[in-house]
Every structure is written in C-alpha cells, then in structure tokens.
Structure 1
Amino acid sequence: MTTAESSYLRRGVRLPVTEGLLLLVAVFWGTSYGLTKSALLYTSVLVFIAIRFSITFLSILPVVIRDFRRGLNQDWSIAIPTGFILSAIFLCEVFGVAQTSASNAAFLISLSVILTAFAELVINKKRVSNTLLVLTLCSVVGVLLLTSKQGFELSLNRGDYLILTAALLRAVMVTSTKRFTEGKKITTSTLTCLQSLVVALVALLAAWGYLPSSEFVLPVEQEFWLIVAYLVLFCTLFAFYVQNYAVRKTSPTRVSLLMGSEPLFGALFAMLWLQESLSALQLVGGGLILVSVVVTSVREN
C-alpha cells in the first residue's frame, strides 16, 4: 500500500468525534422530557432549575479554578451574556414542558434546527449551505411525522408558545456562543460553569421574589434526587460542555441539526423501555431524521 493510499484510508475512516458527542447529547436529551415532568411532581419549576444548575456549577468549579490559575480564561466575561440566554431558555422550556404534551414539546423545540440557519445569517452573517438547509428541513419534517399521533393538527396552548420561544432562544444561543467565543481565551469548562452559575442565580432570584416561603424547600424524596443526578450529569454538565465545545469547532446549524435529533432517540427510548409502539407514519418520520443525522455526521463542514 502506498503512502498516498494509506493517507486516503485514514481520512476515509476518520471517526467524527464531535458529531458522535452531539448525537450522544441528543440521546440523553431525548430522555429528559419525561424525567423533568417526574421531577416537577416534587417541587416548583424555579426551585428545580436552581437545584439542577447549582449542582452543575459546583461540580465543574474545581476544574475552572485550575484553568484560571493557569491563565486560560482572560476573556471569561463573554460567558455572562450567553448565561442569561440559557436562563431564558430553561425558564421557557421547563415551564412549557409542565404545561404541554411531550410530543408537542419535542416537535416545537426541534424547530430550533431551522431557526438556527436563519440566526446564522442574521447574527454571524454566514449563509448556510444548500445541502445543510435541505437536511435541516428534512429533519424538521421527520420530527413532525414522528410526533404526530393523530394527524397533523397541532393546537397551541401557553406551554407550546413557551417551548417555541425556547426553540428560538436555542438558535440565538448557539450562534451567539459561536460569535462571542471565536478567537477568545476561555476554556469550554469555564464557559459551561459560568453559564450554569448565571442560570442558577437567575432561578434563585426569581424563586425568591415569586414563590411563597412555604414552597421554597428542598425535596427529600429519593426519586427526585436520582432524577436530578441523571439530568445534571448527562443532560446538563455533559450536554452543555459538548455543545460549547462543538459550536467552537463547527457551524451552529450543524450543531443544532445533530442535537435536534433528540425526538428520534426519545421515541426509541419509549419503544425499548416503555414498550410503546410507533405507527407507520411515525416510523417514516424517524427514518427522515436518521437520514439527516447520518448524512450530516459524515459530510465535510
């Protein structure tokens, strides 16, 4: 085998690590809606968000302190505005999930995929390629089919509008993170940690001013803390670290498209774990998402 052939083969079988991590995030996020609903049986939305992100902040803080001592975070302040955007996302998303169905939430939040393409154009002045735009539309149609159990009728309530707002804010989040962090000295750990701190503080302040003191208590049920542990470790700490890492390596639309496959993994989780069945139309939708994800994962940026 020649050197040229060997080099070609190495390129051809290169494992898309970033894409694989994003798909893993989608897997975890696909399980998060039902778990969040379960956690909200024990406490309020604001206390739940405050607990989740406080633990996330404390978990990664030792690494961030080390990074500051090494002089790796000269531009740490750029994390603050994205933290406020993330706060708005979770307030809308968790309040929305509490007031709508899981299928509606899955479809509406997936609209962040196509909204990110427009946000890239407006915020970063960068046009999305025609191929990526087609894959984005394919993914959105797939999610619509996957989450449609009784035709295509979708009546929106207040929870649905909150989820739709969260989808728009997700698009703003990934594009703004790309713009703010480009060429800046801040580690991904620090970016994730400071974002979590901002979300926790916003939720605490909102809870302090909004909730009566009788509701501002920590749950004692073991199930609640097991759910929180899972959500913190896999759906918050790991997920947002990967998102922040990936958006600095590739385009925001590509990141959103891969993470937007979460309804597919949520449906697979329901089939395997909860023994739920899918209709033929839902299977077609899942297939469209799968095609979009596979093509996006293997194509060049």
Structure 2
Amino acid sequence: MNATDPAGPGSPRATRASELMLLVVAAIWGSSYGVAKLALQYVPAMEFVALRFVMTFVVLLPALRPLLTGVDRRARLAAGSALGINLLAVLLCESFGVALTSAANAAFLISTCVVITPFVEWLMFGKRTSRLMLLCACLSLLGVALLTGSNGGTGAWARGEFLMLLAAVLRALLVCLTRYHLLRLGMPALTMTALQSGVAAAGACALVFIAGTPKLIVSAVAVPAFWGLMLYLACLCTVFAFFAQNFAASHVSPSRVSLLLGCEPAFGAVFAVIALNDHLTPTGWIGGALVVAAAWLATGAEAPHPSQRETLRSWLPRWKPNG
C-alpha cells in the first residue's frame, strides 16, 4: 500500500475510519462500568476480577510468543510481573468501587487519571508539569467535589468514590511504569499486556482461593447472561479496544487519540442513565462535566512532542526501579 492509496496511512479515509474506531472504543470503555455493575450482581468483586483476567489472558496467549524467543527474558518477566500486580490493584479498586457507587460516577471519577498522570510523571521522572495542568487539576478536583457531594458523600457512596479515585491514581502509575518498561526493554505492547493479564489472573485466583470463595463462581456458570457480560468485557473492552487503539495510532495524532478517548466518561454516564436507570443530580452532572473538561484540557496541555521517545529515554537514568 503506497502513500497515495486513498485507504493508506495518513489518508483521509483511514483517518476517518480511525477516528470512528476510537469513538467506538470510547463508547465500549464507557459502557464497561455499567456492564461490570451488571456482572457483579452474579458474583462478588474478587471472583469477577479473577474471571475477567483469566478470560483476557486466554485470548491473549498467542501474544506471549515474543517473550519466549526474545532476549532479556528475566528482565521482561520481572517488569511484567510488577505491572501485573499494579494492574490487579487497579481492577480490584475499580470493581469494588463500581459495586459501591453508580456506574455514572465511576465513569466520571476514573477519568481523573488523565489529569493525575502528568503529576505522577513529574514525581517519577522529574518532568515538570505546566500551569495549564495545574488549572486542569483544580478543575478536576472541583468536579470530584461536586460529584461526591451530590449524593451526601457518606456511607457506601463515600467508599465507592474513594476506591474509584484510588484506581485512577494506580492507573496513572501503571501508564507511567508501562511506558518506562516498554521503552527500556523494547517489548511489544501486546506481549506486555498478555504478561500483565497472566500475572493479574494468577494473583486474583490466589486471592479467591485464600478467601475460600471459589464455589461462588460455580453458581454463575449456568447463567448465560453472566457469560455474555464477561465475554463483552474480555473481548470487546480489552482485545478489540487494544487493537483499535494501536491501529488508530498509525493514522491519528496522539493528542487526537487522547481527545477522542476522553469521551469515555460521557458515554459511560449516558449508558448508566439509559441502561441502569442511574440518577445524577444537576450538581452531579455539573461535576462530571468539569471532570471531562479537565481531561480534555489536559490532553491538549500534554500533547506529545515529536521527539517524545528520545525525551523519555533521557529521563530513564534519573529513576531506576529496583532490579
């Protein structure tokens, strides 16, 4: 396929297709909080996380081949294991959080990760953030305050919202560490995702057996609707979404990718209201809008420089994880 091909890289047709795929991904990811809430009606959060990671790992097994034939196998396994534990922590916080709060709130609160990530980069790599990012952080905090205050901020709501914010912080840490290790080790992103999923699946299964509750999974086996929800989360929310994001990255600028994926919380809120009859007060909607606005501003403030890869590599000597 040559550069003049109307469907080739950088062509208007490919760009439009990529942008449409990104909007579909944003809608799928936005709906995932509502779908997870439905699945949690059948099994507890711990068992839900274990099943989701096991199914994802099985689908991604072929992606582990480069790990078996590549160099630096021990370093790659160590990095993947650490990131897998981080990923497990993110999904545990998200799953317990969405069980204790509304799917709409969960979708809005997790998007604070976009604003948090530059500050994590600042702490880890010494990359100073801009004044605009400080403004985005203040705007996002105001939105979170309105969201949490719109439902009284007590009891289960307070716990669920705290867990979603903790998940956002852990996700920001995961993004920074994953980028660091992928550049350091030259490892394919899909292989890293498969390794992370395997480690997270093993950890989640271990926690289920330690808790002595694997029999609770059996009760959901005979419910077709439950497995439909799990397949949606494992195949569409993980495998398809990852492929679509990688495909779009070769046709659309990174800042455009971030902007389109920033629609995720809006799709999540709409899905929650329509499918789950979630209710947000006017104050809650205003808070959610501020969080989304902060995320969109943040993607513009942190638009990648053309030499981002070399810049990031220059940060590596400043911060080296143990091992």
Same fold by TM (over 0.5)? Answer: yes
Contact 2:34 2:103 in 1 (8 A): yes
SS of 2:100's equivalent in the other structure is coil
SS of 1:182's equivalent in the other structure is helix
Could you tell me how far apart the structure 1 residues matched to 2:106 and 2:96 are? 11
Question: Which amino acid in 2 is paired with 1:177?
Answer: T
| Deviation per residue, 1:215-274 (Å, 9 max, x gap) | 252522010011011111122234456779999xxxx99987765542211133356667
| Structure 2 counterpart of 1:266 | 268
Q: How many residues are treated as equivalent by the alignment?
A: 287
Could you tell me how far apart the structure 1 residues matched to 2:134 and 2:255 are? 9
| Structure 2 counterpart of 1:7 | none
| Structure 2 counterpart of 1:289 | 292
| Structure 1 counterpart of 2:90 | 89
Could you tell me how far apart the structure 1 residues matched to 2:16 and 2:298 are? 12
| Deviation per residue, 1:164-189 (Å, 9 max, x gap) | 22121111111111222224221111
Could you tell me how far apart the structure 2 residues matched to 1:143 and 1:208 are? 36
- TM-score of the superposed pair, with normalisation by structure 2: 0.70
Residue 71 (str. 1) matches residue 74 (str. 2): no
| Deviation per residue, 1:88-111 (Å, 9 max, x gap) | 111111112112223432343233
Could you tell me how far apart the structure 2 residues matched to 1:92 and 1:254 are? 29
Distance 1:11 1:138, change over 3 A: farther
Contact 2:117 2:172 in 1 (8 A): yes
Identity of aligned residues (%): 37
Deviation at 1:297, TM superposition (A): 6.9
Contact 1:25 1:239 in 2 (8 A): yes
Residues 134-143 or 215-224, more deviating: 134-143
SS of 2:221's equivalent in the other structure is coil
| Structure 2 counterpart of 1:48 | 48
| Structure 2 counterpart of 1:227 | 229
Could you tell me how far apart the structure 2 residues matched to 1:160 and 1:284 are? 13
Tell me how large the CA RMSD over aligned residues is: 4.4
Distance 1:168 1:276, change over 3 A: closer
What are the within-5 Å matches in structure 2 for residues 128-207 of structure 1?
A: 128-131=129-132, 134=135, 151=150, 154-155=153-154, 156-207=157-208
Question: Which amino acid in 2 is paired with 1:229?
Answer: L
Could you tell me how far apart the structure 2 residues matched to 1:246 and 1:51 are? 29
Show structure 2 runs of 5+ residues with no match: 1-9, 305-323
Contact 2:105 2:269 in 1 (8 A): no
Question: Which amino acid in 2 is paired with 1:154?
Answer: G
Could you tell me how far apart the structure 2 residues matched to 1:25 and 1:129 are? 29
Contact 2:113 2:171 in 1 (8 A): yes
Could you tell me how far apart the structure 2 residues matched to 1:182 and 1:49 are? 28
Could you tell me how far apart the structure 2 residues matched to 1:23 and 1:290 are? 17
Could you tell me how far apart the structure 2 residues matched to 1:135 and 1:178 are? 23
Could you tell me how far apart the structure 2 residues matched to 1:90 and 1:220 are? 25
| Deviation per residue, 1:31-56 (Å, 9 max, x gap) | 11221111112222222211111111
Contact 2:104 2:272 in 1 (8 A): no
Contact 1:114 1:140 in 2 (8 A): no
Could you tell me how far apart the structure 2 residues matched to 1:296 and 1:14 are? 22
Could you tell me how far apart the structure 2 residues matched to 1:91 and 1:287 are? 26
- TM-score of the superposed pair, with normalisation by structure 1: 0.74
Residue 99 (str. 1) matches residue 100 (str. 2): yes
| Deviation per residue, 1:51-90 (Å, 9 max, x gap) | 111111111112332x346638855322221111001111
Distance 1:236 1:215, change over 3 A: same
Contact 2:115 2:298 in 1 (8 A): no
Distance 1:229 1:265, change over 3 A: same
Could you tell me how far apart the structure 2 residues matched to 1:132 and 1:14 are? 32
